[in-house]
Amino acid sequence: MVEKLLPIERLDVGLGDLVVTAVREAISAGSLAAGQRITERELVERTGVSRASVREAVRQLRQMGLLESPPRGGLRVAPLDRDAIAYIYEVRIGVELLAVELFTLRATDQQIHEWALSLSSADLIPGAGVPEISCGDELLCQGSGNPLLWHMVQPYHARVRSLQRLSLSLAGRWEKAHAEIAAISTAVRKRDVAGAVRGVRSHLEEAQRASLVALVGCSPT
């Protein structure tokens, strides 16, 4: 049986855009893995839309860097290699330091409470998916007071989630990430901008190192 992606509903938006969203969310959730091959026919079967809509979606997903055409033809989810990890973390560090700075300065007490609660509610079980401090967190972006941030990070958010799964697969990383996130949350609640920014930078640098180590461990010998 062909595994379905998220169901595509007929709404007043282009079906190609809905396919883009479904594929992005599948990559984010891990049901489409980095480097996995997929065909247009599979996408048609898994989304239930026309080939024309799928082709438009594939064009957009290529532009976003989420899908690519390997040398032997066909399609695949963009793989994660050392270069990709470096590029993604360059963007993450630049954007997310700004996001947490603005959030700490501008967010209301209620927004900070809801954001901190969203972190603590998801980090109770090791391996369940600790949310790294990410500008992909919509609450963080909303509280920053800059409406452009969430729109800027959406295209690469799926790859960020893939990297989070990779880094957290390294032994001991979950516990370290938990402590890093708790420290960042404390700084934000105290309105300690410098502490929050410093914590996010350290957290992302540690996550990048863990991703690279885990990547080597996952590579075939």
Helix (H) or strand (E) holding 37: strand 37-38
Q: pLDDT tens per residue, the chain (221 residues)?
A: 445 565 555 544 577 888 898 898 888 888 898 899 999 999 998 888 889 999 999 999 999 889 998 888 889 999 999 999 999 999 989 999 999 999 999 999 999 999 988 886 555 445 454 444 454 478 898 999 998 988 888 778 888 888 888 888 888 888 898 899 999 999 999 999 999 999 999 999 999 999 999 988 755 43
According to CATH, what is the number of the domain 15-77?
A: 1.10.10.10
Total residues found in the chain within this entry: 221
End-to-end CA distance of the chain: 32
Specify the pairing of strand 75-77 against strand 67-68: antiparallel
Locate 15 and state its tokens: 């079906």
Global pTM exceeds 0.85: no
Could you say which of 1.10.3720.10, 1.20.120.530, 2.60.120.10, 1.10.150.20 is the CATH number of the domain covering 82-218? 1.20.120.530
How many Å apart are CA 81 and CA 76, to the nearest integer? Answer: 14
- The pLDDT value given to residue 3: 58
- The pLDDT value given to residue 220: 42
Encoded amino acid at 68, one letter: E
How many Å apart are CA 32 and CA 41, to the nearest integer? Answer: 15
Give me the residue spans of the domains in the chain.
15-77, 82-218
Residue corresponding to tokens 């055409």: 69
